[in-house]
Amino acid sequence: MNKSERPRRNEKVGQIIDYALFLVAPLFVIAVWQVLGDGGHLNLSILPTPQKIMETMVSYAKSGLLSEHFASSFSRVGAGFLLGGLTGLIFGTLLGLSPWFNRLSAVILGVLRPIPMVGLVPLFILWFGIGEKSKILVIAVGALWPVLLNTEQGIRSTDSKYLEVARLLKKDRFTILRRIIFPAAVPELVTGFRLGLSTAWRGVVAAEMIGATRGVGYIISYGREMSLPAAMFLGLLTIGVVGILIDILLARLQNKIIKWA
Amino acid sequence: MEPFLNIQHVQKTFSLSGSNLEVLRDIDLDIPEGSFYSIVGASGCGKSTLLRIMAGLESATEGSVRLRGREVKEPTLEIGMIFQESRLFPWLSVRENIRFGIFKTSPEDRQQIDEHIKLVGLTGFETALPGQLSGGMQQRVSIARALVNRPDVLLLDEPFGSLDAFTRINMQQEILKIWEQEKTTIVLVTHDIDEAVFLADHIVLMSRRPGTIKKIVKSDMAHPRKRSSYEYTRLRNEIYQEFFAEFKTDIEYSI
Ligand SMILES: Nc1ncnc2c1ncn2[C@@H]1O[C@H](COP(=O)(O)OP(=O)(O)OP(=O)(O)O)[C@@H](O)[C@H]1O
Ligand SMILES: [Mg+2]
């Protein structure tokens, strides 16, 4: 009995240590940063202390500004992700299914793909103005590529053995797509959407450089214009923290969805 | 009377990077309805290729396969096929995998599916995913999936090849039961001479490169067959000798 209990207890302790380890380095950095700031070793007008950033966050949170900015960024990311993800899904599927379509679009896609999201901002402003449309489109482009590439890969890599079974059972193309090709591609689809959502979220800064008056990205540009470095840090940290939370959440979801793997 | 399943002068040549590889030559077979044929031969002699041509998955370079006089050019629901790997869809439950076998699904499927789950002895596992089943159970599901359309012919390509000896013998009895119950015509490809002798009423011996039919051994032993009976061992020896002669291997055969 003792024998079976001991390793289990050790396991639990080990788990706590594992989690604690994740926090050691960030806490250390914050502590050193605060000490250096308090000791007057930092130029506080460009690098505020963690305490100052914390205070800014609290005041933003109290005035309701933080949730307001956050909500408008989140709805932009949501809309952009939906638009880009859906487009990526459709084109990725076509690319995966049809070698003909694949050849036809290879050069165009190859040239478009290396263009970064920020690079599109001036063009979208020229075409669509500085309204919501441009912002959502920039985010959509960010979400598009990971979804498109992973979908194509997933659709194309369907095991031909499954397709043979469908041929033997005289299944039509639509059934094959719905019952075999898509389910078989689910792991890649989930990966694509997961990466797409992270990219979309990251793109919010670029998008909100387009004359925004609200949004987490706006907090950053506002901080720069008003010489409020703490606000800039607040914006950056919010993006980072929300980004990692989204990723953790989706990784969990991924394991739930693909229960056969 | 019109022949049931008829293979006429089938020849198959694959072209591999410019060079031609003749895999099957002059295959003629006449398989009567309700019979149990087994095809044995060395690895690479073209057994799978022949079976795939019979299923309509592959086309013959020359010659033809006919079922009740109609040429088989592509898969048909009258001919079912089972592979060495169960090829179940890992995202579908046992019941859904079997349902996939049904051509036109309807609300009355439930009973038909239940019957076949029972036929292969998997009652109670309806909602399990293939990943939760043993190799033998997976193969049972794939048999049920192939049978649920009630095909006239069932082609099996080394269906028990990846199973352990105990499960394999178990599955052999199972397939025999199904054959007797469903009256499906069966063509079974196997490496295992013992399996062929235990199951088949006709054993087709193939030579290799290019694969031709060397001999067809008839067996009218009644089922259930005793592996220790005189008739059984005589037949098995006969087949072993057929292959020993070809390979010129000098292995003493003893019972
Ligand atoms: N699609 C193909 N293209 C080219 N060559 C092929 C193809 N399929 C099979 N072959 C060749 O045909 C020959 C016979 O293959 P086949 O799979 O029919 O043999 P087999 O008797 O089933 O062997 P095994 O017992 O190992 O399964 C092999 O030499 C193989 O390389
Ligand atoms: Mg084979």
Chain-chain contact of B100 with A169 (C-beta, under 8 angstroms)? yes
Quote the mean pLDDT of chain A: 89
Outline where chain A has alpha helix (H): 2-38, 50-62, 65-97, 99-112, 117-128, 132-156, 160-168, 173-176, 182-207, 216-225, 229-257
Please check whether residue B127 lies inside any domain of the structure: no
Nearest Cβ partner for B100 among A179, A259, A260: A179
Residue B107 lies in a domain: no
Q: Are A84 and A149 in contact (CB under 8 A)?
A: no
Q: Residue B16 maps to which CATH number?
A: 3.40.50.300
Q: Maximum distance among all alpha carbons in chain B? A: 60
Mutate to test the pocket of ligand 1, among B47, B53, B190 (most ligand atoms within 8 A of CB): B47
Average pLDDT score over residue span A221-231: 88
In a 3-state reduction of DSSP, which class is residue B59? coil
Residue B104 lies in a domain: no
- In percent, the amount of chain A with pLDDT more than 70 equals 96
> Residue A158: inside a domain, yes or no?
yes
Q: How many domains does chain B have?
A: 1
Note the pLDDT tens digit of each residue in B194-248: 999 999 999 999 988 889 898 898 988 888 888 888 888 888 888 888 887 754 4
Rounded Cα distance, B250 and B244, in Å: 7
Overall average pLDDT of the A60-81 stretch: 92
Work out which ligand 1 atom sits closest to the CA atom of B24: 14
How does strand B212-218 pair with strand B202-207?
A: antiparallel
**What range defines the domain where residue B56 resides?**
1-78+155-164+187-255
pTM of the model: 0.82
Look at residue A198 and tell me if it is in a domain. yes
Alpha carbon distance A255, A252 (integer Å): 5
**Which among B76, B89, B101 has CB closest to A183?**
B89
Q: How far is A248 from chain B (nearest CA, A)?
A: 24
Using the mean position of ligand 1's atoms as its centre, give its distance from the Cα of residue B21 in Å. 10
- In chain A, the number of structural domains is 1
Domain containing residue A77: 65-257
CATH number of the domain bearing residue A193 = 1.10.3720.10
Residue A178 pLDDT: 93
Q: What distance, in Å, lies between the first and last C-alpha atoms of chain B? A: 42
Residue numbers in chain B where pLDDT is lower than 70: 1, 246-255
Please give the helix or strand (H or E) that residue B119 lies within, else none.
helix B109-119
Q: What is the pLDDT of residue A8?
A: 65
> Is ipTM beyond 0.95?
no
- Kindly list the residues from chain B whose CB atom is less than 8 angstroms away from the CB atom of residue A259: 129
